[in-house]
Amino acid sequence: MKRRVFLKSAAGAAALAAPAIKQAAAQPAPTRNETLILVQEYGPNSMDMQGIGAAQPVNGVSLNCYDTLIRFKRKPFAEGVTVFDLENFEPGLAASWQTASDGMSCTFKLRDNAQFHSKRPVTARDVKWSLDRAVKIGGFATTQMAAGSLEKPEQFVAVDDKTFRIDFARKDKLTMPDLAVTIPFIIDSETAMANAAGDPLAKEYLKNNVAGSGAFKVESWKPGTETIYVRNDDWACGDLPKLRRVIARDIPSPSTRRALIERGDADISYGLPPKDFKDLADAGKVRVAAVPVPNAIWYVAMNTANSPFTDVRLRQAVAWAVPYEKIMSAAMFGRGVPMYGGPQPVAKIGWPVPSHYKVDMDKAKALVAAATGGAGLTTSLLFDAGSATIAEPMAILVQESLAQIGIKVELNKVPGANFRGELNKKTAPMVINRFGGWLDFPDYFFFWNYHGNNSIFNVASYQNKEMDKLIDAARFAPDAASYERDVRGFLDMGMDQVPMVPVCQPFHDVAMQKYIGGYHYAPSREPDFRYLTKGA
């Protein structure tokens, strides 16, 4: 496909907007250097990141089309690449903020000139309505807010039109970072409620419409085909983006996406298989930005609530038998950081850190024999067809290796659309999965994946009150020494109990033409159009 044909086709599709998305006002056509062509495996299934069932790309809608009170500052990572600074913030809709002397509240002063896409001024009432909604709507959004101790509408106070206060439930180091991720975005509450048809949270309207103040608007949305964004020239929360138009096309075939990038018919692509990113990086024709995903691992989880993996010996046997190096070579193609063969106890405080496990088939066989009386066992392994370029070869390698120690594994490949539902049933004996926490703290990862009160991402159904105490203590540790003690405690316990076997920390790879600048890695791992630039 020639570039001119591709652009013509994409521009023509823009006229076919989804019925619920209003067309942007006519403007002079953006130049080639102001138009970005993004190709991705799949796009948003909703416009509402807080909504139940919102897919990963919906984070991109939130990131680019809505504003939050504060944003993470950017810091350099590599040439032409910045990453978010977890500990430092810059103004979003809030021009300034001040924490109370007792540390139990924070007051935000909103920008005087901030307005929604509807041209309404942003007020503290909109902020309260939006954060109230986030803590009430349920699902991931409400759990994410609770991770930063943002739990009840009573915590959010509209003092006057331009002054907003959050009363803290407790002193929690995650509270301010939690305000900078994509979940607590600020909604035009009057527009939402005027179209809510009686729903106090306007779920159906916001599922199909953007009611934000962000740097971009959605011009058209054709689910499964294409999303077109146009710049909001009235954006008040930062420097006006250089891009005026972004055409994000959904192309399921990775080989097609790779070909478009290699031929120069697309500017940027996310989500290619690791082998394609390796090949593109080795060839050097396009630039591949590789950021190790903070707080993230690929792992093999075992269901600790049901037989056979209630027996810790069998979990440890699997950890000694996972063929780590083969997975890094044949599934990851080197696009990640190994998370095995480390010291015991752990040497540093952080996450992810390598476990002490490595391939030792003799240890693995002995543990299986002791646990089963020499009889071995048969079980099954669940993995996501939507991540099959990594998960399927990984599953086959695990299957082959475990067969050698007396564990026969049947593979259960589930379509991507059904995978999360299958995980939530908590019935699969073994699972291959990837999890990445947005906030780069070890206690944050363990809160989501190891805490007994967390049913959403605790795939292993792991229940251990001592583990819970250590995680909770670390989250609210009064000093650095206490924090280090508690983190070491839950890291070592996690490695010993091994409900999840860490395999590797993946790279977040992005392929882009060499004339693309300003690439920024955000916690949600979606493209941030606000900083991207495009040369000739």
pLDDT of 536: 61
Q: Which amino acid is residue 520, in one-letter code?
A: H
User: What is the per-residue pLDDT across 123-147, written as a single tens digit (0 to 9) for each?
Assistant: 999 999 999 999 999 988 999 999 9
Statement to judge: residues 499 and 517 lie in one domain? no
Q: Read off the CATH number of the domain in which 72 is found.
A: 3.40.190.10
Statement to judge: residues 259 and 348 lie in one domain? no
Residue 27 confidence class, pLDDT cut points 50, 70, 90: low
The answer to whether position 354 is within a domain reads yes
Is 50 exceeded by the pLDDT of residue 23? no
**Could you tell me which residue, 275 or 415, shows the higher pLDDT?**
275
pLDDT of 20: 43
Which helix (H) or strand (E) element contains residue 245? strand 245-250
Residue 31 confidence class, pLDDT cut points 50, 70, 90: confident
Q: Say how far apart CA 246 and CA 516 lie, in whole Å.
A: 13
Is 50 exceeded by the pLDDT of residue 24? no
Statement to judge: residues 78 and 160 lie in one domain? yes
The answer to whether position 195 is within a domain reads yes
Residue 455 confidence class, pLDDT cut points 50, 70, 90: confident
Residue 424 confidence class, pLDDT cut points 50, 70, 90: confident
**Could you tell me which residue, 29 or 192, shows the higher pLDDT?**
192
**Burial profile 414-428: b = 16 or more Cβ within 10 angstroms, e = fewer:** beeeebeebbeeeeb
User: What is the per-residue pLDDT across 45-91, written as a single tens digit (0 to 9) for each?
Assistant: 999 999 988 888 999 999 999 999 999 999 999 998 999 999 999 99
Kindly report the pTM of this predicted structure. Answer: 0.88
Statement to judge: residues 344 and 216 lie in one domain? no
Residue 7 confidence class, pLDDT cut points 50, 70, 90: very low
Statement to judge: residues 493 and 518 lie in one domain? no
Strands 500-512 and 287-292: antiparallel
The answer to whether position 284 is within a domain reads no
Statement to judge: residues 312 and 252 lie in one domain? no
Q: Which SS3 state, helix, strand or coil, does residue 128 take?
A: helix
User: How many domains does the chain divide into?
Assistant: 2
Across the range 481-507, mean pLDDT stands at 97
Statement to judge: residues 223 and 337 lie in one domain? no
Residue 471 confidence class, pLDDT cut points 50, 70, 90: very high
% of the chain surpassing 70 pLDDT = 95
Statement to judge: residues 17 and 158 lie in one domain? yes
pLDDT of 28: 76
State how far Cα 430 lies from the chain centre. Answer: 23
Statement to judge: residues 528 and 430 lie in one domain? no
What are the counts of helices (DSSP H) followed by strands (DSSP E) for the chain? 17, 21
Q: Say how far apart CA 365 and CA 148 lie, in whole Å.
A: 43
Residue 421 confidence class, pLDDT cut points 50, 70, 90: confident
The answer to whether position 289 is within a domain reads no
The answer to whether position 276 is within a domain reads no
The answer to whether position 486 is within a domain reads yes
Nearest to 169 by CA among 135, 146, 186: 146
The answer to whether position 105 is within a domain reads yes
Across the range 155-160, mean pLDDT stands at 98
Is 50 exceeded by the pLDDT of residue 14? no
pLDDT of 29: 82
User: What is the per-residue pLDDT across 301-325, written as a single tens digit (0 to 9) for each?
Assistant: 999 999 999 999 999 999 999 999 9
Residue 18 confidence class, pLDDT cut points 50, 70, 90: very low
Handedness of CA 282, 75, 93, 168 (dihedral sign): positive
Statement to judge: residues 253 and 323 lie in one domain? no
Across the range 258-265, mean pLDDT stands at 97
Q: What DSSP line would sit under 305-368, residue for residue? A: TSTTTTSHHHHHHHHHH--HHHHHHHTSTT-EEE--S--SS-SSSSSS---S----HHHHHHHH
- For residue 410, the enclosing domain spans 296-506
Is 90 exceeded by the pLDDT of residue 5? no
The answer to whether position 405 is within a domain reads yes
Is 60 exceeded by the pLDDT of residue 4? no
Q: Read off the CATH number of the domain in which 375 is found.
A: 3.10.105.10
Unique residue bearing structure tokens 């096309």? 249
Which helix (H) or strand (E) element contains residue 439? none
Q: Are 283 and 419 in contact (CB under 8 A)?
A: no
Beta strands in 438-518 (DSSP E): 500-512, 516-517
Q: Say how far apart CA 446 and CA 183 lie, in whole Å.
A: 20
- For residue 246, list its beta bridge partners: 36, 229
Statement to judge: residues 255 and 325 lie in one domain? no
Give, in order, the Cα–Cα distances in Å from 333 to each of 187, 269, 278, 326: 42, 18, 7, 9
Across the range 226-235, mean pLDDT stands at 98
Is 90 exceeded by the pLDDT of residue 348? no
Residue 369 confidence class, pLDDT cut points 50, 70, 90: very high
Statement to judge: residues 207 and 351 lie in one domain? no
